[in-house]
A and B are shown apart, each in its own frame.
Chain A
Amino acid sequence: MGKGVMIVAEQQNGEIKKNSYEIASEGKKIADALGVSATLLLIGSEIKDEAQVFFEYGISRVIVADHTELNDYSNEVYASIAEIVVKENGPSHLIVGATAQGKDLAATLAGRFNVGLAQDCTELTVDSGKLIATRPVYAGKAYAVIEFGERYPHIATIRPNTVSVVKVEIPIEGDVEEISYPLNGTNYKTKLKEVIRKGDETVDLTEAEKIVSGGRGVKSTENFKLIEKLAASINASVGASRSAVDAGWRPFEEQVGQTGKVVSPNLYIACGISGAVQHLAGMSTSKTVIAINKDPDAPIFQMADYGVVDDLFEVVPALIEDIEKNK
């Protein structure tokens, strides 16, 4: 068994992701419970100064791989760097964000080290010096409490928006360390050729803090403008049910549910969504759930903290007006 907890943080275009503060806080908590120190790795471009912030979360060592070519995630390149850093430092535990990138990277590392990986955990605890992970299975229709095997490091990815961000009282005094790594493109078989960004840098639904979703009740592509408008008024991302995606009203990457994105925002507003089992499964760890639906018997109301039984085409415009008026 190695020692220490290593956190693998993430950035997007040089900005540290919110989820990384969550995993840094959680990683530190686990390190304390195990009686070991926490190290953090951040890979990106022009992130050395930014990475300094992690000392405020009680991280003892902050390591960066900083190069213009590392701005965008590549499984092959990032995994090679992380593998080197893990081998050099020998952590017993790796804590990663359950973002698209984090899950991808963690899976490859699990293969490199032949170890257990608990993906998308909603809770981590330490019991008699052992890490215990709780994670949703069947998209949240059940939860598995699991322990790890004999081989180390044990790897866990943490679902965004499920753990708290906690700074320590006295920040660690330290300097960000830069590491060297092989970076010539010729050794890699995959090459990132282009990144197509949508207008503004949008967050992936899995990491969104607020989501406004529309379903069959929205009735058309055109009507989804209303959902977009409500989302814009509260700075939320747009989601959709499977029926809205299958009808071609919204792109597949907005689908929330067991065969789409599993989301966990602080606020989830479901408009015209009846709440099929597979949809509910995809949003069950959302904190505050609002449902707006004409049908009082819609299953979505059983999941909702607040429900409005009425026509969404009357309620949503009035809600947008109320929000704008009170800004």
Chain B
Amino acid sequence: MKIIVLVKQVPDTASKIEIQKGGQAIIEDEIKWVMNPYDEIAVEEALILKETFGGEVTVISLGPERVKSTISTALAMGADKGVFITGEKIEDLDPVNVARALAQKASAMEYDLIFAGQRGVDEDRGIVGALAAEYLKLPKVSLATKVEISENQETAVIERTAEGRTEIIESSLPLLITTEKGLNEPRYATMRRIMMARKKPIEKIGLEDIGLDESHFKEKSLKIIKLLPPKERAAGIIIEAETPQKKASELGRILRDEAKVI
């Protein structure tokens, strides 16, 4: 079974996000870059399927030079090959063209399944997977919490938990699946695996290698006018009383009479 995983590098969720002067980008100096947590789940699921059916797992990632470390992490987890799409000002690509680039590369490869995390925890858009599925004319199931592939590797049964319920969906392959927390517990890349992964191939390509050019940088479906820090919340009130019970009834009163939320 040939599986492609689309992987993104994002700031660690513990990172503090500060905005550059001018409000066009975040300050990257202090940021620790990691694999998007949902993409770790995607890589893990691909590896689990490879263990069952055999085959090959390829990760594709797009971004500046630093992204290579995230591809290496995926290889250390057990992926076989990496594709690194990079170039000058690659960060300026909009999501439509990011998806187009990923899909272009994937379309030149053989695959039965494509996995992607349900969203990047940086921009929180959750659209690149869906766009890539459209460009590849693939059916797509998002937010998977369970994936089962039939023995003949022709169909998949996927559980997705959304809207407070669980749906069971059957689809033919090839298929694009976006992964949700709960699908699996991603493995850690051990030191031994990290060493072993150094020998694994990473194919580095530019946008021109997959038919994208300058025009794709200019054509933007979205433009950031500015980034703003979150609005400060007004200082809160600490409820003072002699006993926990008295604090509780004061809180009850506030919820009813002041905040009027119950």
- List the interface of chain A (C-beta within 8 A of B): 12, 72-76, 99-101, 103-104, 106-108, 110-112, 114-120, 132, 134-151, 188-198, 201-205, 210, 234, 251-253, 255, 257-260, 262, 266-267, 276-278, 281, 284, 287-291, 296, 301-311, 314-316, 318-319, 321-323, 326
Contact A146 B245 (CB under 8 A): no
With A112-B134, A195-B166 given, name 9 new contacts (CB 8 A): A75-B140, A100-B162, A119-B124, A119-B125, A141-B230, A189-B172, A198-B164, A255-B181, A310-B244
Contacts of A323 in B (CB 8 A): 252, 255, 262
Interface residues of B in 76-100 (CB under 8 A from A): 94-96, 99
- A149-B224 contact, Cβ under 8 Å, with A112-B134, A290-B255, A310-B244: no
Contacts of A266 in B (CB 8 A): 261
Find A117's partner among B125, B129, B143 (CB 8 Å cutoff).
B125
Find A190's partner among B122, B124, B139 (CB 8 Å cutoff).
B139
Contact A138 B221 (CB under 8 A): no
Contact B161 A305 (CB under 8 A): no
Q: Give the complex CA separation of A315 and B142 in angstroms.
A: 40
- A104-B142 contact, Cβ under 8 Å, with A195-B166, A318-B248: yes
User: Shortest CB–CB separation between residue A277 and chain B, in angstroms?
Assistant: 6
Contact B139 A189 (CB under 8 A): yes
Contact B166 A234 (CB under 8 A): no
Contacts of A277 in B (CB 8 A): 13-16
Please report whether the interface of chain A is mostly helix, strand, loop or mixed according to DSSP: mixed
Q: Among B14, B124, B228, B238, which residue has the most Cβ atoms of chain A within 10 A?
A: B124
A-B contact pairs, 12 of them (CB 8 A): A101-B162, A111-B99, A111-B127, A111-B130, A137-B122, A144-B224, A149-B219, A195-B165, A197-B165, A289-B236, A306-B259, A307-B238
Contacts of A284 in B (CB 8 A): 230
Judge whether B212 is part of the interface by a CB distance below 8 angstroms.
no
User: Shortest CB–CB separation between residue A262 and chain B, in angstroms?
Assistant: 7
Chain B interface, number of residues (Cβ within 8 angstroms): 82
- A192-B167 contact, Cβ under 8 Å, with A108-B140, A139-B121, A304-B236: yes
Contact A319 B252 (CB under 8 A): yes
Name the residue of chain A whose CB is nearest to the CB of B245.
Answer: A318
Q: Give the complex CA separation of A65 and B226 in angstroms.
A: 39
Contact A309 B238 (CB under 8 A): yes
Contact A306 B237 (CB under 8 A): yes
Q: Give the complex CA separation of A75 and B178 in angstroms.
A: 13
Judge whether B223 is part of the interface by a CB distance below 8 angstroms.
yes
Contact A252 B237 (CB under 8 A): no
Contact A260 B181 (CB under 8 A): yes
Judge whether B182 is part of the interface by a CB distance below 8 angstroms.
yes
Which 8 pairs show the lowest CB-CB distances between chains A and B?
Answer: A111-B134, A116-B221, A107-B130, A318-B248, A314-B244, A322-B252, A252-B182, A100-B162
Judge whether B196 is part of the interface by a CB distance below 8 angstroms.
no
User: Shortest CB–CB separation between residue B131 and chain A, in angstroms?
Assistant: 4
Find A142's partner among B96, B230, B233 (CB 8 Å cutoff).
B230
Contacts of A140 in B (CB 8 A): 230
Q: Give the complex CA separation of A191 and B130 in angstroms.
A: 17
Q: Among A210, A287, A291, A319, which residue has the most Cβ atoms of chain B within 10 A?
A: A319
Judge whether B11 is part of the interface by a CB distance below 8 angstroms.
yes
Name the residue of chain A whose CB is nearest to the CB of B121.
Answer: A258
Judge whether B229 is part of the interface by a CB distance below 8 angstroms.
yes
